[in-house]
Amino acid sequence: MSNIDSVKIRMYRHGFGDCFLVRFFKGDKLSFKMLIDCGLKHNDSMPDLSIADVVNDIKKEVSIKRGTKMIPHLNALVVSHEHWDHVSAFKPEKKLFDDFDIDNIWMAWTENPKDKIAQQINANLKRNVTALGVAAKKLAKSTSTKKRTGFYNNSFMGSQMLGVREKFDSALSSLLDFYGPFTATSTTPSGIKIKDNYDISTETQKAFDHIKTKLAKGKSAIKYFNPGTLMEKMELLPGVRIYVMGPPKDERLNKDAPSSGAAKEVYLGLNNASMAGFVKGVLKSAGADQGFDDGSPFTNVEMITTEEAKNYTYYKNTYFSKEETWRTIEEDWLDMAGSLALQMDNDTNNTSLVLAIELIDSGKILLFPADAQVGNWLSWHDHTWKVKNGSSTKEITATDILDKTVFYKAGHHASHNATLKELGLELMKDERLVVFIPEKEEQYNGIPYPELIDRLNEQAKGRVLFSADANYPPEETLKTKPAGITKKDWDAFKKKIVVTDTFIEYTIDDE
């Protein structure tokens, strides 16, 4: 039986979002079709390439003949994590994948409905998304009220404050976008729309549910992977090993950045508790009976509601005095929403399913870390994978895997904290390294992270290709040979690359 001898990796160019089609060949024969994620950031689009176009292109490549019909077929659908820019194409209304025949669906253990920790994580996430939505709306409303009543015109640096405020509000909603458009059904007394029981579902979850319930049909089964798992000797993937590297199953899940300064080792301590208190407070303020200690930090003490207080001379002369409006603190507490949003975003990124695919004969490895951040990366080094080489057994470490990586899908669209330095990129020493970055310009401040791009270019000797960033068009990149690479290597690389308006494809031979 012959082994897989080449792999084609196709990165789609539909905007800010991940969609990778990975096809494994035995000679000319297509043996295994894997799709890793298919999503586009909310409110982003490319003029001539919709996500439906992408799915149509996939169909062209993966359809097989069943009787008289051509059926799109995937051997494996890998869904890395719950972010809209990775799953939007699975939105049920779109029905883009409904006619697909999918043999296997691979997800991280964090999606396993039977996993106790996963349940907790997801319940928390749900609450947090709700709270964030509430806070974002309240803040936006207050900004417009203050604007209308002239607060900003009468405050020193007011116009700047307003600018900052509006930017903050929009940054908040763009973070919410990761969870898909915010859906709501009923209106609370304070004018905020949320579903009953706070059981709101974000579009991301709907997309996930759709995958789990509708796309997983017939003989296909969902597999939830723990880190440290090794897949080998698969019938249709002879000569291929797949190492499951993340997400971690320990506290590192919550770690999104290297510890230092104020953040030192508090990621599971006070600050998370602090978030919990905030979330409860927000939900309570929207009418839910969820605040800690029944919504008040005190029991059995005298309290005067805000409405009542307006009739007290004392408060009229102080807090509600017209001259003192500049010192009021109605929304200050809600600014915490920024931190909450960041934390949620990072936490979710860390639930990314990370796969390293090895072509055994040549030892080449393709690394797909999705949006894994620091904690996820660090945890790879906690595992070893026992592999058999003939009669001897060898323990493979993350360092070995990184050392042999010849293809790297840049983590989290090449943001600053999703490619680990010493224990990550610096260990990718293979001379043949190629990097693909699915990303589009001006979607997020700091993405891509310039210093990282520089370092990636050094490590990969200029073999770095972007999907949709107008500042780094692959057509241009391929025109001139970078300084650090020999002509021979550069020509060899170009030969293996196909660039169209729809995708960029790289062929790796197992040699």
Partner 1 sequence: MTPNTQGINSETKPPFRKLRGYAFDPSLSLRLETSQVNNIVYKIDWEELDLYPNTTKQTVPAGEYIEIIDYDPATGVFYPPVDLNERYLLAQDGLDPSVSNPKFHQQMVYAVLMTTIKNFEAALGRKVQWAEQYIPLAKDTNKVKASAFVARLRIYPHALRQSNAYYNPLKKSILFGYFPAQPAQPQLQLPGGTVFTCLSHDIIAHETTHAILDGLHRRYIEPTHPDTRAFHEAFADIVALFQHFTFPEVLKHQIAKTRGDLAAQNLLGQLAEEFGKAMGSYGSLRDAIGYTDPVTKKWMPHNPDPNEYATKMEFHERGAILVAAIFDAFLNIYKQRIKKLLRVATNGSGILPEGDLHPDMVDLLSNHAAETASRVLRICVRAVDYCPPVDVTFGDYLRAIITADLDMVADDEKSYRVAFIEAFQKRGIYPGAVKSMSVESLAYEQYPELILEDSNAEIFVKFLRLYKEKISYLTDRKEIYDLTKQFISGGPVAQMGMHERINIKFLRSKSGDRFSQLAGLRFTGNEQQCCKEGFDFSKFSKTASYSIENLWLASRITPNDKIVNHVIITMGQKRGVNAFIDANGDFKIKNYYQPELAKENKAGFIFRGGCTLIFDLDTMKLKYAIKKDINDIKRMEQQYRYSKGMFDGDAAFTYFDDKTLAGLSGPFAFMHSHSNHP
Binding segment (CB under 8 A) for partner 1, from list 11-19, 237-245, 356-364, 439-447: 439-447
Q: 257 vs 360, which CB is nearer to partner 1?
A: 257
Q: Are 90 and 35 in contact (CB under 8 A)?
A: no
d(CA 458, CA 485) in angstroms, rounded, equals 10
Q: Are strands 6-12 and 19-26 parallel, antiparallel or unpaired?
A: antiparallel
346 binds partner 1 (CB under 8 A): yes
Give least dist CB 381 to partner 1, A: 20
Q: Are 416 and 374 in contact (CB under 8 A)?
A: no
Among 60, 119, 314, 442, binds partner 1 (CB under 8 A): 314
How many residues make contact with partner 1 (CB under 8 A)? 92
Q: How many CB atoms lie within 10 A of CB 317?
A: 11
CB of 255 to partner 1, least distance (A): 7
Which DSSP state fits 3?
P
Among 201, 10, 185, 19, CA closest to 92: 201
Distances (CA, A) of 239 to 74, 138, 225, 385: 19, 56, 21, 16
Q: Which is nearer to partner 1, 292 or 472 (CB)?
A: 292
Angle at 55 between CA 232 and CA 468, to 5 degrees: 95
Helix (H, G, I), strand (E, B) or coil at 77: strand
* Binding string, residues 258-287; x marks residues near partner 1 by CB under 8 A: xxxxxxx-xx-xxxxxxxxxx-xxx-xx--
CB of 208 to partner 1, least distance (A): 23
Six token digits for residue 479 = 């025109």
Closest CA to 287 of 149, 188, 143: 188
Q: How far apart are CA 411 and CA 371, in angstroms?
A: 5
The only residue of 289, 302, 422, 431 in contact with partner 1, by rule CB under 8 A: 302
Q: What are phi and psi of 388, to 5 degrees?
A: -100, 130
Q: Which of residues 29-68 bind partner 1 (CB under 8 A)?
A: none
Nearer to partner 1, 448 or 474 (CB): 448
Nearer to partner 1, 123 or 266 (CB): 266
Binding partner 1 by CB under 8 A: which of 56, 159, 187, 486?
Answer: 159
Choosing from 44, 53, 232, 331, the residue that interacts with partner 1 (CB under 8 A) is 331
Please choose, from the candidates 255, 281, 257, 261, the residue with its C-alpha nearest in 3D space to the C-alpha of residue 416: 257
422 contributes a contact to partner 1 by CB under 8 A: no
CB count within 10 Å of CB 354 equals 26
Interface residue with partner 1, options 298, 386, 479, 495 (CB under 8 A): 298
CA-closest candidate to residue 74, choices 196, 215, 202? 215
Among residues 56, 149, 339, 399, which is the contact residue for partner 1, using CB under 8 A? 339
Nearer to partner 1, 267 or 377 (CB): 267
- Give CA–CA dist 462/497, Å, rounded: 14
Rule CB under 8 A: choose which of 6, 45, 201, 254 binds partner 1: 254
Binding status of residue 156 toward partner 1 by CB under 8 A: yes
- Candidates 212-220, 358-366, 379-387, 442-450: pick the segment binding partner 1 (CB under 8 A): 442-450
Neighbour count for residue 329 (Cβ, 10 Å): 7
Pick out residues in 387-416 that bind partner 1 (CB under 8 A). 415-416
Sole window of 171-179, 194-202, 355-363, 453-461 interacting with partner 1 (rule: CB under 8 A): 171-179
Radius of gyration for the chain, computed over Cα atoms and rounded to the nearest angstrom:
25
* Short-list 239, 229, 221, CA closest to 355: 229
Among 25, 168, 198, 472, binds partner 1 (CB under 8 A): 168
Does 189 sit near partner 1 (CB under 8 A)?
A: no
Sites for partner 1 among residues 1-30 (CB under 8 A) = none
Residues 93-152 interacting with partner 1 (rule: CB under 8 A): 152
Residue 318 binds partner 1, judged by CB under 8 A: yes
In the complex, least distance from residue 426 CB atom to partner 1, rounded to whole angstroms: 16
Under DSSP, is residue 328 helix (H, G, I), strand (E, B) or coil? Answer: coil
* Residues 444-463 interacting with partner 1 (rule: CB under 8 A): 444-447, 451
**Between residues 291 and 484, which has the closer beta carbon with respect to partner 1?**
291
Among the listed ranges 88-96, 224-232, 252-260, 352-360, the one in contact with partner 1 (CB under 8 A) is 252-260
**Angle between helices 270-285 and 336-350 in degrees, nearest 10:** 120
Least Å distance, CB 333 to partner 1, is 5
Cβ pair 365, 356 in contact under 8 A: yes
Residue 119 identity? Q
Partners of 465 in the β-ladder: 436
Residue with tokens 């610096």: 426
Instruction: Return the residue of 118, 341, 420, 453 that touches partner 1, per CB under 8 A.
Output: 341
Shortest distance (Å) from residue 378 CB to partner 1: 14
Find the shortest distance in angstroms from Cβ 145 to partner 1.
15
